Amino acid sequence: MIRWNNLDTLDAFKALESDAKVNLAEVLAGEAGAERVKNYSVPMGGGLTYNFGAKKVNDEILADMQKLADEAQLTEKFAELYNGGIVNTGEKRHVLHQLVRGQLGNDVIADGVNKREFYTGVQNRINEFANKVHAGEITNEAGEKFTQVVQIGIGGSDLGPRALYIALENWAKKNNSLKMEARFISNVDPDDASAVLARTDVAHALFVLVSKSGTTLETLTNESFVKDALVKAGLNPSRHMVAVTSDSSPLAKSADYLDAFFMDDYIGGRYSSSSAVGGAVLSLAFGPEVFAEILAGAAEQDQLCKNTDIRKNSSMLDALIGVYERNILGYTSTAVLPYSQALSRFPAHLQQLDMESNGKAVNRFGEKIDYKTGPLIWGEPGTNGQHSFFQLLHQGTDIIPLQFVGFRESQLGNDVVIKGSTSQQKLCANVAAQIVAFACGKTDENPNKVFHGGRPSSIITGQTLTPKSLGALLAHFENKVMFQGFLWNINSFDQEGVQLGKVLATNVLAHNTEGALKVYSDLLEI
């Protein structure tokens, strides 16, 4: 029987609180430190590895973390999720984003439908559509091939798919897999759509409108913006647009679209990159085979998350360490630092994934909790960040845990030797140096040059960033967030916090305002 208990009621959590704290500089010193880094490593899907040698843990703490994972029934709760339990208690829904990339357990029947068959059926239709577009069987009115695809969406309909596209754009060019250039319109700010359209050949562009309900204000506003541009160019918008929506939305059977591909309420927006939300634009951009590799990498990582042993389950271990840092060490934020320019938008995706999921102050039953939940998530690619905010990370008054990502080889392979080393070697040297510098610090007679160290970090490494390794990376963080939600006994799958502002904005546009809201509306001349 599954028990949903608050974190601070668990015996193993109380044991963790009493464990002696780790001095990073001491445990990383000498040969013992070298052996520690080698041993504190966990294999992931997609050929990746999670290394936590520079985290403030030791074998005693890890043993208590294992007890906490067992007492909190993390693997049992994951099984409840993938077998179709109503884990999203706030909205009384299944949580099925893993199901789009593989069958982890039993068939899940919801609304009288086998959901695995439904999701694979949708992706098969997307594959067929994308192949016809690439072959020139689906064309513009002049019989010419589409060469660009533009996604119109916001939140999870933009951040994840955009991050994945940017991550693989150069890889696809090198491997002759870039079928169509992709662009994204998200912000209701008209400057966003204007700028994208200004560099888009609209006559040869296919627009993908993503809205589950078919009523998202920002998305429908941008759709109208795009349709106006198409009409002004003498084009028929219905020959240039497809919809990704629910089968019950007003967009589902509309003659305004070439086709419609369906999603449902069981996959939240921030978890939807591996569904039709990402599947349509990425299959059009790279081809269905590349998108299938992303799904395969994610599926490998999902399978590993069934392990009860935290030393074989990187997502669970990462989650436990994160909870330890948040609730016992008292750290308030986490910086995600990919040493890969291709992952430049990945931290932005993780911001939504983590903060929209675990930014909660009540438990699954609506009861106020007395401990901290989700941390602030932020970050930028290295080495740019080193010349920006690393000063605060190294010598600021707050300790901020770090999550590095690094690859031994670049995607394009283009490089040059300068002063005895390549650019990629310099990049990798920087991330290795930063990990040790953060952990161990440096003494100096000049107080301005003292680095106190004790800044914990982990690193995910791989040979190079490919579709499969990208899928595993995506699933690692999705599952980390899920396990942390289980530990905090909160619902990681609804997002009521985004709704209040939408309601008030609707009131402003209807001029139904008073008090401070009216003054701010007048200030902006609405």
Q: What is the DSSP string of 217-256?
A: HHHHHHHHHHHHHHHHTT--GGGSEEEEEETTSTTTT-TT
Q: What is the dihedral of CA 310, 313, 316, 317, to 10 degrees?
A: 60
- Respond yes or no: is residue 356 known to be catalytic: yes
Report residue 263 as tokens.
Answer: 């999603």
Contacts of 80 (CB under 8 A, 6+ apart): 2, 87
Contacts of 468 (CB under 8 A, 6+ apart): 45, 46, 47, 293, 294, 296, 297, 300
Per-state percent for the chain, helix, strand, coil, to nearest 5: 50, 15, 35
End-to-end CA distance of the chain: 55
Catalytic residue among 356, 360, 380, 480: 356
Identify the DSSP state of 421: E
Gap between the Cα atoms of 262 and 279, Å rounded: 11
Report residue 242 as tokens.
Answer: 């497809």
H or E element, residue 319:
helix 314-327
Q: What is the DSSP string of 441-458?
A: -B--SSGGG-B-----EE
Catalytic residue among 368, 387, 419, 511: 387
Amino acid identity for residue 524 in this structure: L
Contact by Cβ (8 Å): 373, 359:
yes
Q: Which of 355, 362, 299 lies closest to 155, judged by CA?
A: 355
- Respond yes or no: is residue 387 known to be catalytic: yes
Catalytic site positions: 356, 387, 502
